[in-house]
Amino acid sequence: MLPFDTLIIIDKSIALPVYKQIANQLIKHIRNGVLNSGNLLPGTRVMAAILKLHRKTAIAAYDELSAQGWITVIPRKGFMVEQNLSEFRPRKWDERTAGYSYNSAMPVPFYQSQLPAAPSLTPSPGFDLIIDDGHPDPRLAPLQLLNREYQSRLKQPQAFRRISSAMSQGSPKLREAMVSYIADTRGIKMQPDHIIITDGAQMSIYIAASLLLKPGDHVLVGEPGYYLANQVFEQLGAHIIRIPVDENGLVADAVEDACRKYKIGLLYLIPHHHHPTTVTLSPERRMRLLEMAEKFNFIIVEDDYDYDFHYTSSPYLPLAAGNHHSRVIYIGSFSKSLTTSIRIGFMIAAADFIRQAVHLRRLINLKGNYIQEDALAALITNGDIGRHLKKANKLYLERRDHLCTQLDLHLKHVVQYQKPSGGMAVWTVFNKAYPLKTIAQKAAKCGLYINNGNLFDTPENSYNAMRFGFASLSLTEISEAVHILANCI
Residues near ligand PLP (CB under 6 A): 200-202, 226, 270, 275, 303, 305, 333, 335, 343, 345
Cβ proximity of 290 and 298 under 8 Å = no
Q: Closer to ligand PLP by CB, 49 or 143: give it.
A: 143
CB of 333 to ligand PLP, least distance (A): 3
Environment class of residue 148 by beta-carbon count within 10 Å: exposed (0-12), middle (13-18) or buried (19+)? middle
Q: Closer to ligand PLP by CB, 185 or 335: give it.
A: 335
What is the three-class DSSP state of 46?
helix
CB of 381 to ligand PLP, least distance (A): 21
What is the three-class DSSP state of 313?
coil
Strands 264-269 and 299-303: parallel
CA separation for the pair 365, 333 (Å, rounded): 18
Please report how many Cα atoms fall inside a 13 Å half-sphere around the Cα of residue 185, on the Cβ side: 20
Q: Closer to ligand PLP by CB, 226 or 430: give it.
A: 226
CB of 303 to ligand PLP, least distance (A): 5
CB of 227 to ligand PLP, least distance (A): 10
Q: Give me the residues paired with residue 239 across strands.
A: 218
185-188 own/partner pairs: CB under 8 Å, 24+ apart = 185/307, 185/308, 186/304, 186/307, 186/317, 186/318, 186/320, 186/321, 186/330, 186/332, 187/317, 187/318, 187/321, 188/318, 188/320, 188/321, 188/330, 188/348
DSSP string, 137-194: -TTTS-HHHHHHHHHHHHT-HHHHHT--GGGGG--HHHHHHHHHHHHHHH-----GGG
Strands 328-333 and 129-130: unpaired
Q: Closer to ligand PLP by CB, 169 or 198: give it.
A: 198
Cβ proximity of 308 and 273 under 8 Å = no
Q: Closer to ligand PLP by CB, 35 or 240: give it.
A: 240
Q: Which of 368, 330, 346, 375 has its CA nearest to residue 166?
A: 368
Q: Which of 219, 232, 200, 463 has its CA nearest to residue 339?
A: 200
| End-to-end CA, the chain | 72
Environment class of residue 229 by beta-carbon count within 10 Å: exposed (0-12), middle (13-18) or buried (19+)? buried
CB of 111 to ligand PLP, least distance (A): 23
CB of 61 to ligand PLP, least distance (A): 45
Q: Closer to ligand PLP by CB, 275 or 285: give it.
A: 275
Q: Closer to ligand PLP by CB, 62 or 305: give it.
A: 305
Residue 276 phi, psi (nearest 5) = -100, -10
Q: Closer to ligand PLP by CB, 137 or 480: give it.
A: 137
Q: Closer to ligand PLP by CB, 70 or 309: give it.
A: 309
Q: Closer to ligand PLP by CB, 354 or 439: give it.
A: 354
Please report how many Cα atoms fall inside a 13 Å half-sphere around the Cα of residue 326, on the Cβ side: 8
DSSP string, 255-274: HHHHHHHS-EEEEEE--SS-
CB of 200 to ligand PLP, least distance (A): 2
CB of 229 to ligand PLP, least distance (A): 6
CB of 343 to ligand PLP, least distance (A): 5
Q: Which of 347, 335, 308 has its CA nearest to residue 198?
A: 347
Rounded alpha-carbon distances, angstroms, from residue 221 to 160, 293, 329, 367, 467: 42, 14, 15, 31, 19
Q: Which residue is nearest to ligand PLP (CB)?
A: 200
CB of 414 to ligand PLP, least distance (A): 25
Q: Closer to ligand PLP by CB, 231 or 335: give it.
A: 335
CB of 305 to ligand PLP, least distance (A): 4
Q: Closer to ligand PLP by CB, 335 or 472: give it.
A: 335
CB of 170 to ligand PLP, least distance (A): 14
Identify the DSSP state of 359: H
